[in-house]
Amino acid sequence: MAKKLHLAFPEWERKLNDVHVSRDDMNRLIMDYLVIEGYKDAAECFADETGLDPDVELASIENRMQIRSAIQRGDVEDAIGRVNELDPEILDTNPLLFFHLQQLRLIELIRRGDVLEALAFASEELAPRGEEHPDLLPELERTMGLLAFQGRLAGAAPADLSALLSPAQRLRTATELNAAILASQSQGKEPKLPRLLTMMTAGEELLGPHGPGKLDFPKLDLEHRTRLP
């Protein structure tokens, strides 16, 4: 049976509120979130209101969002061109990322039904990279398998092949590219705030009735932003 934590709800609230978190630390967490998630206008307003230096050129946020948008609409060539304008070393030093971008270009050609162009592109651009990195060959072969399911046969494609045509494939590549751009700018790959919330939730599970702590205490309700007894 869970051991009861002998703190009334109001007292628990008071103790939590007594924990001091500096305004500067909170502002930096918010700025980190706005910058990494790409909210350029909000980051500019927040910087003006707080006087906080975002530690990154805010114009670069817009560039990142344009690149992400290009990937998510399937315009890989535009995205690659923008990345090279931003920093050519990003793709030069990330061969796996570049392969995934080229793989997405091949997928988009197959999606449009440009079979001959897709075959030529795979032979000229992707096959040589597969020879340099044999571990990538299965992924290339899987992508080429889409060619067998054109037109009316598209609905019969196995789940692992049809997944390549889903929006999730574009999103996965966009996320990988976004992380590489952030790393090149000495930024974190993901915001700190969601990670802190994840750590807090894990801590509550450890302390709670079903964890090692075996304690019954008020938990933070993230959905309604209140703490429940």
52-74 pLDDT, tens digit each: 877 777 777 888 899 999 999 99
How much of the chain exceeds pLDDT 70, in percent? 83
Residues 173 and 227 in one domain: no
CB 143 within 8 A of CB 106: yes
Q: Does residue 149 lie in a domain region? A: yes
Would you say residue 5 lies in a domain?
A: no
Domain count, the chain: 2
pLDDT over 70 at 168, yes or no: yes
Task: Look at residue 220 and give its three-state secondary structure.
Answer: strand
Query: Dmax of the chain from CA atoms?
Result: 72
The SS3 of residue 22 is coil
Can you tell me the mean pLDDT for 159-163?
Answer: 85
40 within a domain of the structure (yes/no): no
Q: Is residue 127 part of a domain?
A: yes
Token pair belonging to 147: 């060619």
Q: Is 111 inside any structural domain?
A: yes
For residue 16, tell me if it sits in a domain: no
pLDDT-based confidence at residue 154 (cuts at 50, 70, 90): low
Instruction: Decide if pLDDT at 5 tops 60.
Output: no
Per the CB < 8 A criterion, the answer to whether 137 and 61 are in contact is no
Domain that holds residue 216: 199-229
Q: How far apart, in whole angstroms, are the C-alpha atoms of residue 194 and residue 216? A: 25
Least confident of 76-90, 136-150, 188-202: 188-202
79 domain residue, yes or no: no
- Going by pLDDT thresholds of 50, 70 and 90, the confidence category of residue 218 is low
DSSP H or E run through 112: helix 95-112
CA angle centred on 183, ends 29 and 106, rounded to 5°: 125
Tell me, yes or no, whether 95 and 176 share the same domain: yes
- Let me know whether 170 and 203 are in one domain: no
Whether the predicted pLDDT of 179 surpasses 60: yes
Tokens read off for 31: 């700025």
